[in-house]
Amino acid sequence: MSNSEPPYKSIDCVGLFCPEPLFQTREAMDSLNVGDILEVLADDPAAEEDLTRFAKRAGHEMVSIENNGDYQRFLIRKGR
């Protein structure tokens, strides 16, 4: 899962814990158009499971998940 297309919007959730990264991701996705990519930076241990489950349930595509040591970088393409 990798993508060279730059994100349309980025949110920094480093230092925030469940459920805040999920809430901020959901709110940011609502402001995007179909096909736009959201970049989410998060260090919450539950973020990968929460955001992957959210993307699938909401009809979005988890384009990539990168582990950058202290945090993870998620790229999510807006679906419907």
Which of these, 53, 40, 33, lies nearest to 12 by C-alpha position? 40
- For 78, how many CA atoms within 13 A lie in the half-sphere containing its CB? 18
Joined tokens for residue 55: 């993307």
Among residues 14, 16, 18, 32, the one annotated as catalytic is: 18
Is 13 part of the annotated catalytic residue set?
no
Q: Which residues are catalytic?
A: 18
